[in-house]
Chains A and B, each alone.
Chain A
Amino acid sequence: MLVYLAKRGAARLSLLFGAGVVIFLLTRPLIADAAPGATLPAAIVAMIVQTRSLLGSDVAILTQFAEWTMSLLGGDFGRSAAADASTLTLIRQRLPVTLHLIAGGLALALVVALPVGLLAAARPGRALDRASRVLVFVTQAMPMAGVSLVLMLVFAILLRWLPAGGHVDPTTQPVRALAHLLLPAGALAIGLLPMLLCAIRDGARAAHGERHLDTARASGVSPRRLIWGRTLRLTLAAALVPIASLAGQMMSGAILVEAVFDLPGVGRLVIESLDARDYGLLRGLALASVMTMVATALAGDVLRGLLDRRIRSAS
C-alpha cells in the first residue's frame, strides 16, 4: 500500500508542479512584482546567480518563480488587490456556498446514477441498459449554461415553484436553503450525470466479470445480495478514479451555475477576479483549483487501494 501510494503521490505531485509552472508563466506578464528577490533567503539567491552564470541569460523569471514557490510553501497564496484581502481568506469565505452546491449536485447525480448503473450492468442489453445509454446520450448533449437557464425559466419564472437564485445560510433557515439549492444542484447534477453513470456502469460491468463473483453465485448467494453487497464494493473501487476525475467537471460547472443562479461561491470569485482584472487573485484561485483536483485524485487512489486489496498487494 505504501509503495502504491508513494508512486501515485509522486506522479500527482509532479503534475501539480508542472501546473504551477504553467500558471506562473501565464500570469507573469499580468502581475508586476514590487522588488524581485527581496524576500528570498540568501542560499536561493546564490543558487539563482549560479544558474544565471550557467545559462547566461535573463533570470528575473527564475527569481520570481522561486519567490512565488517559497511564499506558497509558507501557505501564502497571494493577495487580492481589489478586495484588499488574502486569497485564502476570500476562498474560505466563499467555500461553503460552493461546497453545498457540489454536495447537492453530486448527491442528486448519485441518486440516479448508482441504481441505474448497477442494475444496467447486471443485465446488459435489456431495457434498463438501453435506457441508461439513451440517458447518457441525452445528458451529454446538454450544455450546463443552457440547462441552468432553462431550469430557472421553467421552475422559477414560469411555474414559480422554486426561487430563481441567491444563497441562504442553511444553518439558520434549512428549508429555504434547500429550496434555493435545488435548481442549481439539479443543473450541476445533469452536467455530472453522463460521466458518473458511465463510470459506475463500466465499473460494475468489469466487476461482473470477476471470477470470485462467479464462485459466490454458484455457491448460492442471492442475486440481490450479490449486486448490492459484493459488486457494489468492486464497482466503487473501479469507478473511483473516473469519479475523482469529475472534480474538474464540478469546478467548471460550479463557475457556470454560480454565474447563472447568482450564488456567491468560489466560482463567482473566479469571474469577479477576471472582471476586476485582479490577477493576483486569479493566480491563487487557479493554483487552488489544481491543488483540489490533485488532492481529489489522490483521495481516489487511497480509497481504491482500501476497497480493492489486489491493488495494494500488486505494487
Chain B
Amino acid sequence: MNNATIDLDSADDPAPRRLRRLWHFLRRSFGTILALVFLSSLLAAALAPEPLAMLSWLAADTSRRLPWLAAFLPSDPTTLRVLSDVLRAASPTLGVSVAAAAGALLLGAPIGMMAGARVLAWIGRPLQGVLTIVDAFPPLVLALTVVVALDALESMRPGWKAPGAVSLSMVLALLLAPRIARIASKEMHQARREPHLAALRALGASATRIAMHGWLRRCPGPLVAGTMGLVGAAMLLETSLSFLGFGMPQNTPSWGTLLAAGVRPMLAAQWLPVVAPATLLMLTLFAVNLLAQALGRRLEVRGTG
C-alpha cells in the first residue's frame, strides 16, 4: 500500500520524470550527440579565417596556462602547419561531399519515384535503366573516365572552363544517384501494397492522388537518411579521386590531395602528414555514418511494410 502511494507520487511529480526521460534520451543518442559536436567543431575550425594563427595561439596559450599539458601540445611550426592544412582541407572535402549527396538526391529521387509510381513509370523506368548502367561500372573507373572527358572538353574549347569543385561534385552526384533512385522506387513499390492505399483505390481516388499518398507517407524519411549515408560514400570517392590526382584541383586543399602530398615525407618516416588527414577523415566518416544511422532509425517507416 505504502509502496503504491510512493510510486503514484513520483509519477505525478513531473520534474523527476522529465529528468529521467532526458537521461534516457541522452543515453540512447550519446553517439549522435558526439557526432554532431565533432562535426560542428570541425566545421567551425575549418571555417576559421586563419587556422594556422589560431592553432599556434591556442597551443601557446594553453601551454602557458596549463604547463603540465605543454609536453603534449605541438609547438614546432612544421607540425602546426600540417595540422592547419588538414583543418583547412575539411571545408572543401565536406562541401563537395554534401553537394554531391544533394545532387544525387535531386537527380535520383524524381527518377526513382517516377519509376515506382504507376502513372509515370513510362518515363521513370527508362531513366532508371540509364542509371543502372552507371552501376555496371567500377565506381572509380567511371569517375576517372568522366573527369578526363570533362578535362579534354575544357582543353578543346579554350574559352570554357569547368570549375573544379563544382564539376567534381556533379560527377560524384551522377555516380551516387542510382542508390537514391533505388531507395525511392523501392519505397514506392512497397507503398503500393499498403492497405490504406487499397482503400483509397476502392473509393475511386485517382492514380495521381494514390501516388501522392504513398509518397507523402513513405518516401521522405528513407530518402533523407539515404542521402546522409551518401555523404560518407561521396567523401570516400572524393578522397580516392583527389589522392590519384584527378579530383580537386591542385591548389585546393582536400584530404585526398594532402594524403598524396604526405607520401614523400612518409617515406622519410615523418608520419604526421599522412596520419593527420587519414585520422581526421576517418573520424569525420565515422561521425557522418553515425548520423546517417541515427536518421535512418528515427525516420524509419513503422507499421505495414
Binding site for B on A (CB under 8 A): 15-16, 18-19, 22-23, 26-27, 29-30, 137-138, 140-147, 149-150, 152-153, 157-158, 164, 247-252, 255-256, 259-260, 270-271, 274, 279, 282, 285-286, 289-290, 293-294
In B256-278, the 8 Å CB interface with A consists of 256, 259, 262-263, 266-267, 269, 271, 274-275, 277-278
Min CB distance B18 to A, Å, is 30
Binding site for A on B (CB under 8 A): 129-130, 132-142, 144-146, 148-149, 152-153, 156, 232, 235-236, 239-240, 243-244, 246, 256, 259, 262-263, 266-267, 269, 271, 274-275, 277-278, 281-283, 285-286, 289-290, 293
Cα A22 to Cα B145 in complex, Å, equals 10
Q: Is the Cβ of A18 less than 8 Å from the Cβ of B133?
A: yes
A279 and B232 alpha carbons, distance in the complex (Å): 31
Which residue of the partner chain A has the closest CB to B271? A153
Query: Quick check: B139 and A149 within 8 Å, CB to CB?
Result: no
Complex contacts, B141 vs chain A, CB 8 Å = 251-252, 255, 270, 285-286, 289-290
The one of A26, A140, A248, A255 in contact with B232, judged by C-beta atoms closer than 8 angstroms, is: A140
Write out the residue numbers on chain A whose beta carbons fall within 8 Å of the beta carbon of B289.
137, 140-141
Give the interface SS of chain A, mostly helix, strand, loop or mixed. Answer: helix
A152 to B265, CA, bound (A): 13
When the two chains form their complex, are residues B243 and A145 in contact, meaning their CB atoms are under 8 A apart?
A: yes
B297 to chain A minimum Cβ distance, whole angstroms, is: 13
A18-B132, A141-B282, A252-B240 known; 7 other A-B pairs, CB under 8 Å? A29-B153, A149-B259, A157-B269, A248-B138, A251-B138, A252-B138, A259-B244
Contacts of A18 in B (CB 8 A): 129-130, 132-133, 136
Partner of B239, one of A145, A250, A270: A145
Whole-angstrom CA separation of A18 from B140 in the bound complex = 18
Nearest-neighbour CB distance to chain A for B166, whole angstroms, equals 19
Closest chain A CB from B49 CB (angstroms): 28
Contact between B133 and A19, CB atoms less than 8 A apart: yes
Q: Are A252 and B140 touching (Cβ within 8 A)?
A: yes
A251 contacts across to B, CB distance below 8 A: 138, 140-141
When distances are taken between beta carbons in the complex, the residues of chain A under 8 Å from B278 are: 143, 146-147, 149-150
Known: A29-B152, A144-B240, A294-B136. A286 touches B259 (CB 8 A): no
Q: Which of A143, A249, A274 has the most CB of B within 10 A?
A: A143
A247 (CB) vs chain B CBs: closest residue: B138
| Contact between B129 and A289, CB atoms less than 8 A apart | no
22 sampled A-B residue pairs with Cβ under 8 A: A18-B132, A23-B145, A27-B145, A29-B149, A29-B156, A137-B289, A140-B289, A145-B239, A145-B259, A146-B259, A146-B277, A149-B263, A149-B278, A158-B271, A248-B135, A252-B141, A256-B240, A274-B148, A279-B148, A282-B148, A286-B142, A289-B137
B145 touches A256 (CB 8 A): no
A18 and B290 CA atoms in complex are apart in Å by 36
Residue of B nearest to A150 (CB): B278
Q: Are A16 and B274 in contact (CB under 8 A)?
A: no
Complex CA gap A23/B239 in Å reads 24
Task: Note all chain A residues with C-beta closer than 8 A to B130.
Answer: 18
Interface centre among A18, A141, A286 (most CB of B within 10 A): A141
Cβ of B144 and Cβ of A274 under 8 Å apart?
A: yes
Closest-by-CB residue of A relative to B144 is A274
Contact partner of A255 (CB less than 8 A), chosen from B146, B244, B286, is B244
Which A residues are in CB contact (< 8 Å) with B275? 150, 153
Q: How many angstroms from the CA of A85 to the CA of B37 in the assembled complex?
A: 55
Bound-complex Cα distance A257 to B146 (A) = 21
- Determine if B244 and A26 form an interchain contact, defined as CB atoms under 8 angstroms apart: no
